[in-house]
């Protein structure tokens, strides 16, 4: 079986060149497919605006940019379809496409889809690789996820950020906050990001959203998720050990409790990239 992974990653890249979430997905899907004995190759999505893809048995689009090209660029989707003998699929961190789903045999999602979605939507989950995500804690530390950026109305979140701002300086706790991770202009390379997560006993959530790959990786490093009630999403966060805080007193208590590193890691490792690929292959091989 041969699979084209359409992404922003190119053949010949190294792990040090990986930084964005979509690149992380593509890199570890490629690794898991290769480990399963599949002939898999990276195909850069931008190049396909002017070139025909290599012939393949199945295509998996991981790049969100390429999903956009399928809608906006004449001929893009058709070239992908003609080069694919078997199934056209995509892998995405949302539970539905906003257009273009008709081109796909399967839309693989990271999170459970809502009721009423077409059968082509199939939840395969998302994964972690213990080669990079494992505990390495020494001093008591927390990872402070970057604040939500560019929201038109930040007022509903002010209490959340005020709580962190008031509580964290008062605790004997080292805080890691690599802001460039969420800055589209400058990103932290994947291995450097994981090296920070490995040091942290707590992962302080500041983001909306269901995907949460960084939360999964933090938990695999032994961290406890500390979640403001406003950001809690049962669909994904309930899969990992966590504590929800409603007040500053709750936050102080959560960050004062001992952390069960082994239990946090054990639960997170129920979600691995090899399991994601196994679910995909079951459908691709039908």
User: 101 and 159, same structural domain?
Assistant: no
Q: What percent of the chain has pLDDT over 70?
A: 89
Residue 196 lies in a domain: yes
Cα angle value 234/236/239 (rounded, 5°): 95
- Answer yes or no: are the C-beta atoms of 58 and 284 closer than 8 Å: yes
Alpha carbon 35 to chain centroid, angstroms: 20
User: 160 and 122, same structural domain?
Assistant: no
- Residue with the bigger pLDDT between 159 and 181: it is 159
- How confident is the model over 177-191, as a mean pLDDT? 61
User: 122 and 7, same structural domain?
Assistant: yes
Mean pLDDT is lowest, of 8-17, 153-162, 256-265, 268-277, for 153-162
Q: Provide the strand spans (E) within 79-153.
A: 88-92, 106-109, 121-123, 141-144
- How confident is the model over 236-244, as a mean pLDDT? 89
User: 148 and 262, same structural domain?
Assistant: yes
Concatenate the DSSP letters of all residues of 238-277 into one string: TTS-EEEESSHHHHHHHTTS---HHHHHHHHTTSBHHHHH
pLDDT at 116: 67
Mean pLDDT is lowest, of 27-41, 82-96, 105-119, 160-174, for 105-119
Domain with 97, as residue range(s), is 2-127+272-284
Give residue 85's pLDDT band: very low, low, confident or very high (50, 70, 90): very high
Number of domains in the chain: 2
User: 114 and 150, same structural domain?
Assistant: no
Residue 132 lies in a domain: no
What distance in Å separates the CA atoms of residue 94 and residue 173, rounded to the nearest whole number?
A: 34
What distance in Å separates the CA atoms of residue 79 and residue 48, rounded to the nearest whole number?
A: 8
- The enclosing domain of 48 has a CATH number of 3.40.50.2000
User: 279 and 241, same structural domain?
Assistant: no
pLDDT tens, residue by residue, 107-129:
999 888 777 677 889 999 989 99
Model confidence at 180: pLDDT above 70 = no
pLDDT at 147: 59
pLDDT at 84: 97
Give residue 91's pLDDT band: very low, low, confident or very high (50, 70, 90): very high
Distances (CA, A) of 52 to 42, 60, 155: 14, 15, 48
User: 6 and 123, same structural domain?
Assistant: yes
- Residue with the bigger pLDDT between 227 and 111: it is 227
Q: Provide the strand spans (E) within the chain.
A: 2-7, 39-44, 58-61, 88-92, 106-109, 121-123, 141-144, 174-176, 202-204, 224-228, 242-245
pLDDT at 181: 43
pLDDT, the chain, mean: 88
User: 123 and 14, same structural domain?
Assistant: yes
pLDDT at 210: 52
User: 277 and 193, same structural domain?
Assistant: no
Model confidence at 151: pLDDT above 60 = no
- How confident is the model over 32-54, as a mean pLDDT? 95
pLDDT at 184: 42
Model confidence at 170: pLDDT above 80 = yes
pLDDT tens, residue by residue, 130-148:
999 999 999 999 998 765 5
- Residue with the bigger pLDDT between 118 and 251: it is 251
Model confidence at 38: pLDDT above 60 = yes
């Amino acid at each position: 079986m041969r699979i084209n992974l359409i992404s922003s990653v190119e053949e010949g890249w190294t792990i040090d060149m990986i930084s964005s979430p979509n690149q992380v997905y593509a890199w570890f899907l490629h690794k898991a497919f290769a480990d399963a004995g599949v002939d898999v190759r990276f195909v850069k999505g931008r190049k396909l605006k002017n070139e025909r893809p290599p012939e393949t048995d199945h295509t998996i689009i991981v790049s969100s940019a390429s999903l956009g090209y399928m809608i906006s660029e004449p001929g893009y989707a058709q070239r992908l379809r003609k080069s694919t003998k078997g199934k056209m699929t995509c892998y995405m961190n949302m539970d539905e496409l906003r257009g273009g789903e008709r081109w796909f045999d399967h839309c693989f999602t990271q999170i459970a889809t809502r009721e009423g979605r077409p059968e082509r939507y199939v939840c395969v989950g998302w994964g972690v690789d213990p080669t990079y995500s494992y505990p390495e804690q020494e001093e008591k530390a927390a990872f402070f996820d970057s604040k939500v950026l560019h929201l038109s109305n930040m007022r509903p979140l002010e209490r959340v950020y005020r709580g962190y701002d008031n509580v964290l300086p008062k605790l004997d706790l080292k805080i890691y906050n690599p802001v460039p991770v969420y800055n589209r202009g400058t990103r932290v390379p994947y291995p450097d990001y994981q090296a920070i997560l490995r040091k942290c006993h707590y992962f302080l959530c500041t983001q909306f959203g269901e995907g949460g790959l960084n939360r999964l990786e933090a938990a695999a490093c032994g961290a406890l998720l500390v979640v403001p009630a406003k950001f809690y999403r049962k669909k994904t966060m309930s899969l990992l050990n966590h504590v929800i805080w409603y007040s500053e007193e709750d936050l102080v208590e959560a960050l004062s409790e001992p952390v069960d590193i082994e239990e946090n890691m054990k639960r997170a490792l129920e979600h691995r990239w090899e399991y994601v690929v196994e679910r995909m292959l079951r459908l691709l091989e039908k």
